[in-house]
Amino acid sequence: MEFDGEQFQQMEERLNLLNHLKLKYGNSLKAVLQYQEELEEKIERLNNADVYKAQLETKLMEEQEKLKKLCQKASKIRSQEAEKLQKDMLVALTDLNFLDVKFEIQVRKKEEITAGGFDDVEFMISTNPGAPLKSLGNVASGGELSRIMLAIKTVLASRDKIPTMIFDEIDTGISGKTAWKVSEKLGQLSRSHQILCITHLPQIAAMADNHYKIAKQAVDNQTVTDIVQLGECETIDELARMLGSDEITNTVRENAKELIATAKKRK
């Protein structure tokens, strides 16, 4: 067998070239060949740029038409659901003592399409007779906003996946029958969510399953807030205080117990 040095050198150069290509374009010859095909396709498109551009424009128009139809479908569903939600919200708000309330859901078309479609949805509300509708985000009263959010959450309870809700100042400006209505709504919502509610009203506090007393005190010239979980007897005493009694007597305790019993019936 004769050794051909020239042929050996050619083979070695060929092998080095293949190894270099693998290092640069893939870990195998198959990957290198695939990359070659991709380059050839790119060259083909460049050589026929006008044809390729026309194809892309046609494809773009087709996709834009699909997007437009999907946006129209989403907009139709939104408008239908907005009308239903609007009616349900008026009922829920009336239950929460917004007797002269107006509530509208405005669905307006935007100029640009976004991930949510081409609709701009805004909740509008008026809580006083003769007052113009304003965006929900511009409602000034924290107590009003809390009750409005309670109404929204109650209406959407079956669809809402938020596990815990916090309500603060929800009792601002209410008492008596309205307080019980708010309490009942919170109890209704607690069937599907964990509710944390800060309140000064005994009707609302009585609806809770667990009670915590929040108190502030001055320690070393600093204000310290204590949160203490209450037992059954402590809860009754605290409700008695919330009922407005300076002195906690057996009669006041019985009133507090009756309040808890009434709350249980209304849950």
Within-domain flag for 124: no
**Which sign, positive or negative, has the C-alpha torsion 226, 227, 229, 233?**
positive
Q: Which residues contact 124 (CB under 8 A, 6 or more apart)?
A: 103, 104, 105, 106, 133, 134, 135, 136
For residue 207, what is the domain's CATH number?
Answer: 3.40.50.300
Cβ atoms of 243 and 252 closer than 8 Å: yes
pLDDT, mean of residues 20-44: 84
Segment 223-242, tens digit of pLDDT: 999 999 999 999 999 999 99
Within-domain flag for 81: no
Nearest to 175 by CA among 210, 133, 204, 147: 204
Distance CA 136, CA 226 (A): 34
Distance CA 198, CA 179 (A): 14
Distance CA 155, CA 161 (A): 13
Within-domain flag for 197: yes
Band of the pLDDT at 66, cuts 50, 70, 90? very high
Indicate whether 246 pLDDT > 80.
Answer: no
Q: 214 is in which domain, residue-wise?
A: 142-267
Look at residue 80 in the predicted model and tell me its pLDDT.
Answer: 94
Q: How many CA atoms lie within 13 A of 30 on its CB side?
A: 0
Look at residue 2 in the predicted model and tell me its pLDDT.
Answer: 66
Question: What is the three-class DSSP state of 146?
Answer: helix
Within-domain flag for 153: yes
Q: 0.85 exceeded by the pTM?
A: no
Distance CA 48, CA 212 (A): 75
Within-domain flag for 209: yes
Distance CA 53, CA 51 (A): 5
Q: How many residues does the chain have?
A: 267
Cβ atoms of 216 and 225 closer than 8 Å: yes
Cβ atoms of 194 and 204 closer than 8 Å: no
Amino acid sitting at position 72: Q
Cβ atoms of 43 and 90 closer than 8 Å: no
Within-domain flag for 51: no
Distance CA 140, CA 16 (A): 76
Number of domains comprising the chain? 1
Distance CA 266, CA 60 (A): 58
Within-domain flag for 189: yes
Distance CA 154, CA 91 (A): 11
Segment 151-175, tens digit of pLDDT: 988 898 878 788 898 888 788 778 8
Band of the pLDDT at 20, cuts 50, 70, 90? confident
Within-domain flag for 227: yes
Distance CA 235, CA 228 (A): 11
pLDDT, mean of residues 204-209: 94
- 156 vs 50, 125, 159, 188, 235, CA distance in Å? 53, 18, 5, 12, 31
